[in-house]
Amino acid sequence: MKIETKLPKVGTTIFTVMSQLAASHDAVNLGQGFPDFDGPQALRDALTAAMNSGKNQYAPATGWPALRQQIARKCESLYRCRVDADTDVTVTSGATEALFAAIAAVVRRGDEVIMLDPCYDCYEPAVELNGGIAVHVGLNPDDFSVDWQRVRDAISPRTRLIIVNSPHNPSGAVFDPGDLDALAAITRDTDILVLSDEVYEHIVFDGREHQSVLRHEELAARSFVVSSFGKTYHCTGWKIGYCIAPRALSAELRKVHQYLTFCTFTPAQVALAEILEKQPEHYLQLPAFYQARREYFRELLASTRFRLLPVSGAYFQLVDYSEISDKDDFGFCEWLVANAGVAAIPVSAFYESPPPDMRLIRFCFAKSDEILRTAAQRMSAL
């Protein structure tokens, strides 16, 4: 049987490839971006209680009402943005589903979608599956900031959507208020929509505030904003995310959502609603928690020959390995697993066309002290 693939450029993701390679070499896996520690005990207890009290059937398609209300309250508290819990908040089976549903809801055949490279690997396939055309605009290579004039120059009459991501994966760069103003100026008096990937919204360092597009009234009126409880509560395997969007955009997203997953794991929604209400200090303390992880990992790597790039948010550390090897980043990651027993992710995997001679790899520091120490010790002799 001959099958013509709808995604000819897509194979096994780099995250799976590197994890399999790590397993085959018994390597420390700093490649895949998930914590190796559990979320709050109170959250796990609340999940068990929800299951034991019979909360095991379908939730409403748009999300458990109490959870949607808590999301709306958090939004107003953090970003001074009022959203309607009934019409503007949709709980999804992970942020990836929310991203796909938003793209599927508004992108039609021939529409162009601007995405900023390096970017997460699920954006382009979702665009292509829905008949859209991905238009890649490179971030500034020195600091991964956005050149908004380049974004403006990439806009055409076919532009339907701009995808942004702050805090940024893989670099850890974050927006400042001027970025929101620039994005608003570019989209003003157009029909262009914004999809803002904010899954690391609570992991911003050095006293900075997360610049959600929800802070900007003009942008909030034309944006899908996606976040992830998995990232916030160290439970990525639960696959619970959500999308905030104005009523009209949410209505279109929900049309798609109901035929993707219909609804999301009910006991986890009940538990998350409880923890948001009773323990808001968890997400408020998350910047300090991960900043300590960042500082510890950077101290461990200080004696190596890696050059460490700045990290302003998320839980990834980019390093330049030019002093160690002249291999390309894929080749170096393979070499690193085989020779040092440490797995990383090549940053070129996040690009359509990576800069020539780029020598950057990504480590995840959302790991235990022991794992980070072991990885650093193995790389200290390189």
* DSSP one-letter string for 207-262: TPPP--GGGSHHHHTTEEEEEEHHHHTT-GGG--EEEE--HHHHHHHHHHHHHHTS
Mean pLDDT of 262-267: 97
CA distances for 181 relative to 211, 218, 277, angstroms = 11, 9, 32
Average pLDDT over residues 257-285: 97
Residues 165-177: what's their mean pLDDT? 98
Residue 105 makes CB contacts below 8 A (sequence gap 6+) with 249, 252, 253, 255, 256
Could you report the per-residue pLDDT of 276-318, keeping only the tens digit for each? 999 999 999 999 999 999 999 999 999 999 999 999 999 999 9
How far CA 331 is from CA of 25, 109, 306, 321, in Å, comes to: 16, 37, 16, 12
Q: What is the pLDDT confidence band of residue 23, given thresholds at 50, 70 and 90?
A: confident
Q: Token pair for residue 381?
A: 């002799």
User: If DSSP codes are grouped into helix, strand and coil, which group holds residue 159?
Assistant: strand
Phi and psi, residue 104, nearest 5°: -65, -30
DSSP type of residue 342: E
Which tops the pLDDT comparison, 15 or 288? 288
- If 0-12 CB within 10 Å is exposed, 13-18 middle and 19+ buried, where does residue 273 land? buried
Mean pLDDT of 12-22: 83
Q: Is 271 exposed, middle or buried (0-12, 13-18, 19+ CB in 10 A)?
A: buried
Q: What is the pLDDT of residue 1?
A: 87
Give the 3-state secondary structure of residue 268.
helix
* Number of residues assigned to the chain: 382
pLDDT over 90 (residue 243): yes
Among 155, 156, 160, 162, which Cα is nearest to 108's? 160
* pLDDT band at residue 11 using 50, 70 and 90 as cut-offs: confident
pLDDT band at 21 (very low <50, low <70, confident <90, very high): confident
Q: What is the mean pLDDT of the chain?
A: 96
Say which range, 21-30, 145-154, 244-253, 342-351, has the weakest mean pLDDT.
21-30
Residue 49 to residue 41: CA distance in whole angstroms: 12
- Rounded Cα distance, 114 and 161, in Å: 6
pLDDT for 375: 97
Over residues 116-121, mean pLDDT: 96
Q: Which residues of 107-130 are buried (b: 16+ CB within 10 A; e: fewer)?
A: beeebbbbbbbbbbebbbbbbbeb
> Residue 32: its pLDDT value, please?
86
User: What's the pLDDT tens digit per position in 317-370?
Assistant: 999 999 999 999 999 999 999 999 999 999 999 999 999 889 999 999 999 999
Report the alpha-carbon distance of residue 321 to residue 325 in Å, rounded.
6
Tell me how far apart the alpha carbons of residues 174 and 209 are, in angstroms, rounded to a whole number. 9
**179: pLDDT strictly greater than 90:** yes
Delineate the domains of the chain, giving CATH numbers in brackets.
Answer: 14-39+282-379 (3.90.1150.10), 41-280 (3.40.640.10)
Cα distance between residue 359 and residue 327, in whole Å:
8
Among the listed ranges 13-17, 117-121, 158-162, 221-225, which one has the minimum average pLDDT value? Answer: 13-17
Question: Are the beta carbons of 361 and 319 closer than 8 angstroms?
Answer: yes
One-letter amino acid of 54: G
d(CA 63, CA 291): 32
Instruction: Write down the pLDDT at residue 12.
Output: 80
Strands 345-346 and 360-364: antiparallel
Token representation of residue 77: 């508290």
Where residue 56 falls among pLDDT bands split at 50, 70, 90?
very high
The percentage of the chain sitting over the pLDDT mark of 90, rounded to a whole number, equals 91
Confidence of residue 247 (pLDDT cuts 50, 70, 90): very high
